[in-house]
Amino acid sequence: MKKYGFLGLGIMGQPMAANLLKAGFNVTVWNRTANKCDALIKKGALYQKTPAQVVASSDITFAMVSDPVAAKELCFDKQGVLEGLRQGKGYIDVSTVDPQTSIEISNAIVEKGGRYLEAPVSGSKKPAEDGTLVFLCAGDNSLYEEAIPAFEFMGKKSFYLGETGFGARMKLVINMMSDKCIHVNIRISGSVQGVGFRYAALRAARRTGIKGYIRNLPDGDVFIEAEGERAQLDAFVSWCHEGPPYAKVEIVKVNESGWKGFTDFDIRS
Ligand SMILES: NC(=O)c1ccc[n+]([C@@H]2O[C@H](COP(=O)([O-])OP(=O)(O)OC[C@H]3O[C@@H](n4cnc5c(N)ncnc54)[C@H](OP(=O)(O)O)[C@@H]3O)[C@@H](O)[C@H]2O)c1
């Protein structure tokens, strides 16, 4: 059976490694703060004291650490990943880093005879727990093919995007897009709706910069259909919640789940 290593057991790494264990894989873990390994050891994980030892005892090692600085320290520091590398071993960095960092790490791994894949994830804590992440992979294609069984238990989809750096770029694009083009429908009903509210809402919409329309419905409610960036809509929705003091503000429909503004809200309650 293939042996997996997992370095970095934070919010994301912890449930991802747990899913590998749940799938019945052999998993060796390490975390800078060692006691974060305890829960996984109880679930059957093996433990090593250094990243180098994890890499040396695994066929494929995943890393999920905070940022580019952490990714480089993990790799280049004493007793780090590079020290444990042998010919043919696989190293998959699933952290979010910039393309230049990924290429630097890739070059060092390949120089030592190892294989490197970047595989930043789209998704957050819940998808990591549910095994529904999306992996944006680039780098060594043979390593990608070999790791597919692991990706399948940690995620719902993995893409192979080509040479090292392309996965990191795709992750940046997705991050940028997820902050834009959110669409929300809002219905305001209650005792202060109507033309006055409509003008106030229009002024608020102009101030926050959202685009869309606001109209009075035949039943007296005010209906707003708007589109904008997350921060703009956040600001507009809180205005709606705070603006009409005795009205019921209902977010009717949204096109993205998980945004904190998208909850039904009744100011009178
Ligand atoms: N959280 C999300 O929703 C989300 C979604 C998509 C992608 N990501 C990406 O996933 C990565 C991990 O995020 P996270 O939310 O799991 O972060 P986190 O909970 O803060 O965990 C960070 C992990 O990195 C380790 N670490 C930090 N600096 C280190 C260093 N110098 N050497 C070795 N290990 C180090 C931490 O170790 P200690 O325990 O010792 O501090 C911890 O295990 C990030 O690149 C993030 O951008 C996160």
Query: pLDDT per residue over 103-151, tens digit each?
Result: 999 999 999 999 999 999 988 888 999 999 999 999 999 999 999 999 9
Pocket probe mutation, ligand 1, options 65, 74, 101, 126, max atoms within 8 Å of Cβ: 65
CA 64 – ligand 1 centroid, Å = 6
CA 193 – ligand 1 centroid, Å = 46
The 3-state DSSP class for residue 189 equals: strand
Residue positions annotated with a catalytic role: 171
HEC per residue, 245-265? CCEEEEEEEECCCCCCCCCCE
CATH topology of domain 182-266: Alpha-Beta Plaits (3.30.70)
pTM equals 0.75
For residue 9, which atom of ligand 1 is closest to its CA? 43
Task: Determine the pLDDT at residue 263.
Answer: 32
Name the pLDDT band for 164 (thresholds 50, 70, 90). Answer: very high
Protein residue with least CA distance to atom 24, ligand 1:
65
Do 3-176 and 182-266 fold alike per CATH? no
Domain boundaries, the chain: 3-176, 182-266
Give the pair of three-digit tokens for residue 268.
């009178």
Integer Cα distance of 182 and 64 in angstroms = 29
Torsion angle, CA of 78/141/129/171, rounded to 10 degrees?
90
Integer Cα distance of 90 and 5 in angstroms = 10
Q: CB count, 10 Å around CB of 235?
A: 17
Q: Tell the CATH superfamily of the 3-176 domain.
A: NAD(P)-binding Rossmann-like Domain (3.40.50.720)
Pocket probe mutation, ligand 1, options 9, 12, 72, 259, max atoms within 8 Å of Cβ: 12
Integer Cα distance of 138 and 170 in angstroms = 10
Integer Cα distance of 33 and 25 in angstroms = 23
CA 59 – ligand 1 centroid, Å = 22
> Nearest CA to 96 among 124, 115, 76?
124
- Mean pLDDT within 184-197: 64
Mean pLDDT computed over every residue of the chain: 84
